[in-house]
């Protein structure tokens, strides 16, 4: 079930207000993190990556760079012990500082505060039948699935087959995201944002 027109309007209006508020508070942290990442990695401290967004359209997600590039590693799945993660990148990841630039994604309408995390190509293609209704939502910075798997990198670091474990986690995320969509309310979004900060 898709959100009604009025619910989409309410959700988007809330996102705009919260994005403007968040940017006004966190802009200095974003600038500082960008500068440190640029100096540390000797590349632009902002990392842009193609993700699958609302209605299956691609967009560029904005994050603080936390990893070195490795021409011998092609996986988009990241575990706790991934050798590409830098020291400063681990700090940014632990405190979710690398996610703050996504406030600009919310501001431009490519993302929402709450919703399913935006997938890289290959995972969104795994949605089957009625599951594709998830793509009617803007992807979110946080959400019920994100909160449940906030320690996903730790889980993947313990797996014998990281790619296979990631697929299992993805299937559970799909189930959770469908529940979120079918039971959406503004209060639920406020609850998930509050729980994320806590």
* pLDDT tens-digit readout, 55-111: 999 999 999 999 887 655 555 555 556 678 889 999 999 899 999 999 999 999 999
What domain range includes position 51? 5-197
Which whole-number Å values give the CA distances from 106 to 22, 25, 63, 140, 172, in the listed order? Answer: 10, 15, 13, 8, 25
> Does 9 have pLDDT greater than 90?
yes
Radius of gyration of the chain (CA): 17
pTM of the model: 0.88
- The mean pLDDT of the chain is 90
* pLDDT tens-digit readout, 127-148: 888 999 999 999 999 999 999 9
The total domain count for the chain is 1
């Amino acid at each position: 079930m898709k959100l009604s027109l009025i619910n989409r309007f309410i959700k988007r209006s809330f996102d705009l207000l919260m994005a403007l508020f968040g940017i006004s508070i966190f802009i200095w942290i974003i600038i500082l993190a960008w500068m440190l990442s640029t100096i540390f990695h000797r590349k632009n401290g902002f990392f842009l990556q193609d993700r699958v967004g609302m209605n299956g359209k691609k967009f560029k997600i904005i994050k603080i760079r936390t990893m070195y590039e490795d021409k011998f590693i092609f996986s988009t799945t990241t575990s706790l012990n991934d050798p590409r993660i830098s020291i400063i990148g681990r700090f940014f990841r632990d405190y979710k500082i690398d996610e703050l630039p996504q406030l600009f994604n919310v501001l431009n309408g490519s993302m929402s505060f709450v919703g399913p995390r935006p997938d890289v190509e290959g995972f969104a293609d795994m949605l089957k039948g009625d599951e594709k209704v998830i793509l009617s939502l803007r992807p979110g910075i946080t959400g019920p699935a994100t909160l449940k798997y906030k320690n996903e990198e730790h889980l993947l670091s313990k797996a014998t087959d990281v790619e296979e474990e990631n697929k299992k986690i993805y299937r559970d995320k799909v189930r959770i995201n469908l529940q979120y969509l079918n039971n959406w309310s503004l209060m639920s979004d406020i609850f998930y944002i509050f729980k994320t900060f806590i």
